[in-house]
Amino acid sequence: MNTITQSTLLSFGQSLYDNEKSEATVAKYVFCVERMIKELSGRELTKEFLLKYRDGLMQKYKPQTVNGNISAINAFLDFCGLTDMRLKLLKVQRQVFLEEERELSKEEYTRLLVAARCRGDERLYLLLVTLGSTGIRISELCYITVEAVESGRAQIRLKGKNRTIILRRELRKQLLAYAAKRGIESGFIFRTRSGRALDRSNICHDMKKLCAQAQVETCKVFPHNLRHLFARVYYGIEKDLAHLADVLGHSQIETTRIYVAASVKTHEKILERMELII
């Protein structure tokens, strides 16, 4: 009998941490498996059930979301020694065009910065600037320490990979001034009043508060969109996809391609310039 207990699920989560998965990945994987277990309702886990469960996901979610669930489930199956029950990922055509209604433009980003300054929220302003000008993940913000800013380089260690992030002189100057005013002599710069590192929910909540004043749609304002913005602007200057992948810390260059996909409007302009319709 392939029965699943709460203890098994807890051990699975711990194994993900032990394999240096990020907190966000661990939370996502555990959530996906928990949802599957709830659907299982105490029955035996079989390949037949998994196939039906995947079909159900396909009716509710986009292919990318389904594949995210399958990846989590496959990792759980591997952990349980049930590799013969692994599911195949859906074949998804590479994204050619970005979703303009969800992508943050450089102009909108600038309006968010102005709104943060007008509110007198220096921490939020610097947080936006740091994410936007470095392209780091929100989970990598803890590597922006006083020591890193003083040296001009942040050493990012995540998912078993190391990479160096260059911090611009002007950003360093502002971050050090901010740290000095708040008596932060060492360690991470972005922290709560109690001294703990800011978490994702703190940051997302604060960012959303700027939307109305900045006249930016709330669906565009979340930390990862700043990473997408960095990628598009960087690629627009240096057309080197492989180098950009290294800067972002991507293992697969196909992931980087998604970040810099052209907009539908840009593609339409190219088609017009081809003059193949008379």
Q: Contact at 8 Å (CB) between 139 and 24?
A: yes
pLDDT tens-digit readout, 228-253: 999 999 988 888 889 999 999 888 88
Residue 264 pLDDT level (bands cut at 50, 70, 90): low
- 264 or 163: whose pLDDT is higher? 163
Distances (CA, A) of 128 to 42, 116, 268: 46, 9, 32
Residue ranges of the domains in the chain?
A: 6-85, 106-266
Phi–psi pair at 152, nearest 5 degrees: 85, 5
The CATH architecture annotation of domain 6-85 reads Orthogonal Bundle (1.10)
Residue type, 166: I
Q: Contact at 8 Å (CB) between 185 and 93?
A: no
The pLDDT assigned to 44 comes to 87
The topology (CATH level 3) of 106-266 is hpI Integrase; Chain A (1.10.443)
Report for 1-15, 56-70, 95-109: range of highest mean pLDDT:
56-70
The pLDDT assigned to 1 comes to 44
Which single residue is written with the structure tokens 């105490």?
42
Evaluated on CA atoms 83, 85, 91, 94, the torsion sign reads negative
Q: Contact at 8 Å (CB) between 132 and 109?
A: yes
User: What is the rounded CA–CA span in Å between residue 188 and residue 144?
Assistant: 6
Q: Contact at 8 Å (CB) between 45 and 2?
A: yes
pLDDT tens-digit readout, 11-36: 999 999 888 787 888 999 999 999 99
Query: Containing H/E element for 106?
Result: helix 106-118
In the DSSP assignment, the letter for residue 158 is E
Report if pTM > 0.75.
Answer: no
Residue 159 pLDDT level (bands cut at 50, 70, 90): low
